[in-house]
Copies of this chain bind each other. A is one copy, B any other.
């Protein structure tokens, strides 16, 4: 149906090698030959079959893009940026959804069966072992949004979650809140734990503030809302660090229903700076995670690995910053 190399060769009256060479750059072909071939190819509407090509070149230019997070708004941006950045490098994302928790094992095998050139693991909740499985099969892998501490043998790009936790704590303290709490997502996410660790460590420097923490059942609006409502029965803290923006908006909503004035009765700072945090009727003060840089750097790293698969693993960490909106009261000068 679709024309092949041979068809073009026949029509142009040349060998298949000649045709092949005019379509692989850096190959030696005379201008005359190139013209002839290109003419025939154009007439036939030919373009090389990447799949067949990959058999000999051992490069599919396919990149596995695996994630288990299809419900956080920031992942819209993540997918958008990933696909664009990869496309710009001539790479193609093969999307893998791990949400259904079907054993990761099989995803690893599948990606191998498709001969992907590399894999991007975009998740902060997937265990490092998952990423390592690829490395063990000699497939270049970068764990975007991963935790660097526990996986020193796989490339990680993301943020320093404990630093982010400290940042949140400092912010809350600077606003003069004296009773401060952490309201995280499920404990299983290591990023949550790291954030908590930094948060707690920073707070420990201030003996005059009291600290508490709890975990919502999921990284969702309703989980955040339910948790703050539950907490209210025992008495609220003066300020909360929400584990994530959607959780935080749930907290905010609960607070509003409780008749609390945010930020005066209780302050709230989120994490991620998802788009909705900036909506005027939400106006959540939050910590911005530099997604654009993280992803650009991730694919940059990936293409570097494609050239040199034995590249020594590194962790690339980007700084966050707080974006001030309306859920924290002004900085208190003492």
A interface residues (Cβ-Cβ under 8 A, vs B): 1-2, 47-52, 54-55, 60, 62, 65, 70-73, 75-77, 79-80, 83-84, 87, 92-97, 99-100, 109-110, 112-115, 137-138, 221, 225, 249-250, 252-253, 256-257, 275-276, 279-282
B100:A84 contact, CB within 8 angstroms? yes
Contacts of A48 in B (CB 8 A): 113
Q: A52-B55, A79-B79, A252-B281 are in contact. Are A73 and B73 (CB under 8 A)?
A: yes
A280:B225 contact, CB within 8 angstroms? yes
A2:B92 contact, CB within 8 angstroms? no
| Complex CA distance for A51 and B92, rounded to whole angstroms | 15
Which residue of B54, B65, B71, B110 is within 8 Å of A51 (Cβ)? B54
Which residue of B79, B137, B280 is within 8 Å of A257 (Cβ)? B280
A71:B80 contact, CB within 8 angstroms? yes
B83:A96 contact, CB within 8 angstroms? yes
Q: List 19 A-B contacts (CB under 8 A).
A: A1-B138, A47-B109, A48-B113, A50-B113, A50-B114, A51-B113, A70-B77, A71-B76, A80-B97, A80-B99, A84-B99, A84-B100, A87-B96, A92-B95, A93-B94, A95-B95, A221-B275, A225-B280, A281-B281
Instruction: Apart from A1-B138, A70-B79, A92-B110, list 18 A-B contacts with CB within 8 A.
Output: A48-B113, A49-B115, A51-B114, A51-B115, A55-B55, A62-B114, A70-B77, A71-B77, A73-B76, A80-B99, A87-B96, A92-B94, A92-B95, A92-B96, A94-B94, A221-B275, A253-B280, A257-B280
Query: How far is the CB of A162 from the nearest CB of chain B, in Å?
Result: 28
Residue in A97, A110, A225 whose Cβ sees the most chain B Cβ within 10 Å: A97
Query: How far is the CB of A60 from the nearest CB of chain B, in Å?
Result: 7
Chain B residue nearest in CB terms to A109: B47
Contacts of A95 in B (CB 8 A): 65, 79, 83, 92-95
Contacts of A112 in B (CB 8 A): 2, 47
Contacts of A221 in B (CB 8 A): 275-276, 279
B282:A281 contact, CB within 8 angstroms? yes
Contacts of A100 in B (CB 8 A): 84, 87
Contacts of A70 in B (CB 8 A): 76-77, 79-80, 83
Residue in A47, A51, A77, A225 whose Cβ sees the most chain B Cβ within 10 Å: A51
| Complex CA distance for A107 and B102, rounded to whole angstroms | 31
